[in-house]
Structure 1
Amino acid sequence: MNKLLIIALLAIFAACQPASKKHELSMKDSTQLKPVQSGYADVNGLKMYYEVYGSGKPLVMIHGSYMNIPLNWAHMIPSLAKDRQVIVAEMQGHGRTKDIERELSYEGMADDVSGLLKHLKVDSADILGYSMGGGIAFQVAVRHPQQVRRLVILSGTYAHDGWWPEVEAVFATFTGDMFKGTPIQQQYDSMGNDPARFDAYIKKVIRVDTKPYDWSNEVKNIKAPILMAIGDADGVRYEHALELFRAKGGGKMGDMGGRPKSRLAILPGTTHVGMMQQTDVVVPMVANFLDADLDAPPPTF
């Protein structure tokens, strides 16, 4: 994939993400929704910024690379917080959670999420992750299974080769220059970060995916039910999602053999970035999975 195409993809990515101010206006104007709790949790050397919305069964939502709460979740929080407690946080070096002298890793960020739940005195929660957040969510379930009731993965992977090869090849080429003028850079600057370190920030975050990883065995042994959703034009390989679904009991006719507790969704006409714009599809699908009686028999005539 040539450099011009990479820049074009990043331009599309930036265009698809409204600026933070627009997100805040969207939430304010449509719902007057404000967090019932917000602040910083001291976890693993971080001062981790978080917000809590609504009440009910807890749902933790973990953002993707270079994202933060408003960029990733402003459109979904109002709907999901109507009948559940939504907990959103900003990962190491993202948003209002300042970076520390620690390598970014899926495992480390999963431990941070675990620490946040302990800080909030939440024993168990549903965990939802998008993109990089999906990898973090997988690791929360692997490393802290007692804290996970159900798991939702939106356009995330559990092995580095879960991405299409051309997507994986692009990661190593990311530089700060590619993101100049995008909402990602605007958010970085507005949060009081050093603009001179923007390129280092971009490279540090993407190293999470340029370093090979494969948690196939551990993820297939997760006890919590999993909903894995990808787009039909996503960066995640279909076979990657299907492999996990089959390992979780999929790949048979549910009317005859019963339905697995885990689920798979491939959304039509949906790209990796587009997953976050499919609110009208994703929110009801997630809510149905989280609320469903997964032991109920399939419907009969």
Structure 2
Amino acid sequence: MNTRIITGLLIAMVVTLMVACQKENQATSPGPKDTVASQTLKPGESGYADVNGLKMYYEVYGNGKPIVLIHGSYMTIPLNWQHIIPLLAKDRKVIVTELQGHGRTRDIAREISYEGMADDVAGLLKHLAIDSADVLGYSMGGGVAFQVAVRHPEQVRRLVVLSGTYTHDGWWPEVEAMYGTFTADMFNGTPIQKQYDSLGNDPAHFQEFVKKVISIDLKPYDWTKDVKKIQAPIFMAIGDADGVRYEHALELFRAKGGGKMGDLNGLPKSRLAIIPGTTHIGMIQRTNWLIPMITDFLDADLNAPPPTF
């Protein structure tokens, strides 16, 4: 794919993201508009945790079983989770954070890596005195979530990965080809750039921030062996027009007990969903479909037998 086409696709992605972040979940989600998602919630707790040399910004909403949400590349809490927090916080404790260099968490003289960000999330849970939590990650945050479960298994009860991968070639080849073309100019005027500036970062470092974040996907990684050993049940969801290869998601699902008729063999503890009519960016707008599936997975008795006639 030539550079002009790749650049065009990137611009289209950024424009789509800008629209998605500024509008509520309307035409992209089936069914009636969810009025709860439009309500503005204030965190019951917020602050900075001293974690691995970072002052890591976090917010906590609601009460109940804890779930930590891990955002995607270049995102912030409001950009990634503004429509999702109110839906999950109705009956559980929702912990959201901003990863190294993102939002209100300032960058430090340390490379950005999936492993390092996973250790930061684990450190935040310790700071909050939470022994174990459900972990949900989107896109880059999905990779971080996989690493939290690999590196800190005792802290993960159940794992939800939305549009994330556990190998670099889990993405379609055209997606991998795009990563090396990312520049700060492509984000000019978008909510990503505006929030980077407005949340206290130095605008002069925006180009460095863009390059540093994308660097994690410019080098090969393959956690297949370790991810397949994760003991926590996994719910992996991708869009049918996502950047993640179907085979990538299916390989993990089969390794976790899928690929068999549940009526004969019982249901696997892990789950897989391919959301129709859904792109990578559109995934986080599918709240009317995703939230019921996520909460059902988190609340289900995974040892129960399948329904019978």
Q: Report the TM-score when normalising by structure 1.
A: 0.95
CA distance in 2, matches of 1:124, 1:223: 14
Q: Pick the aligned partner of 1:296 from 286, 296, 304.
A: 304
Aligned mate of 2:17, from 13, 25, 29: 13
Q: Once the two structures are superposed, what CA deviation does each residue of 1:182-210 show, in whole Å capped at 9, x if it has no partner? A: 10000011012121211111110001111
1:50 equivalent among 21, 40, 58: 58
1:189 partnered with 2:197: yes
Of 235, 238, 244, 2:252 maps to 244
Within 5 A, what are the aligned runs for 1:186-265? Answer: 186-265=194-273
Unaligned runs of 5+ in 1: 20-25
Counterpart contact for 1:27–1:75, Cα < 8 Å: no
Describe the SS at the equivalent of 1:140: helix
Is the 8 Å Cα contact of residues 68 and 95 (structure 1) preserved in structure 2? yes
Distance 1:257 1:77 in 2: 36
User: Which residue, 143, 165, 175 being the options, matches 1:157?
Assistant: 165
Residue segments in structure 2 that go unaligned for 5+ positions in a row: 24-33
1:141 to 140, 144, 149: 149
- AA aligned to 1:9 is M
Cα 1:190–1:28 change in 2 (3 A) is: farther
Out of 78, 85, 91, the residue aligned to residue 77 of structure 1 is 85
Letter of the aligned partner of 1:87 in structure 2? I
- Paired residue type of 1:6: L
Cα contact 2:134–2:156 (8 A) shared by 1 = yes
User: What is the distance in 2 between the residues matched to 1:29 and 1:292?
Assistant: 23
| Partner residue in 1 for 2:28 | none
Deviation at 1:147? 0.3
Alignment counterpart, residue 115 of structure 2, candidates 107, 122, 137: 107
Match of 1:271 among 270, 273, 279: 279
Calculate the TM-score normalised by the size of structure 2: 0.93
In the TM superposition, what whole-angstrom CA distance separates every residue of 1:141-181 from its partner, at most 9, and x where no partner exists? 00000000000000000000000000011001000001101
Counterpart residue identity of residue 12, structure 1: T
User: After the TM superposition, which segments of 4 or more aligned residues of structure 1 sit over 3 Å from their partners?
Assistant: 26-32
Q: Per-residue CA shift, 1:258-289, capped at 9, x if unaligned? A: 11000000000000000010011111110000
After superposition, the CA RMSD in angstroms is 1.6
Match of 1:129 among 107, 119, 137: 137
What SS is found at the alignment partner of 1:133? helix
Once the two structures are TM-superposed, the CA of residue 32 in structure 1 deviates from its matched residue by 4.9
Give the secondary structure class of the aligned counterpart of 1:229. Answer: strand
Q: Secondary structure at the match of 1:161?
A: helix
Residue in structure 2 matched with residue 23 of structure 1 by the alignment: none
* Structure-1 separation of matches of 2:274 and 2:163: 10
Provide the rounded CA distance (Å) in 2 between the counterparts of 1:29 and 1:249.
34
Offset of residue 27 of structure 1: 9.6
Aligned length: 296
Task: State the Cα deviation string for residues 38-63 of structure 1 (Å, max 9, x = none).
Answer: 10000000000000001110000000
Work out whether residues 52 and 120 of structure 2, in 8 Å CA contact, stay in contact via their aligned partners in 1: yes
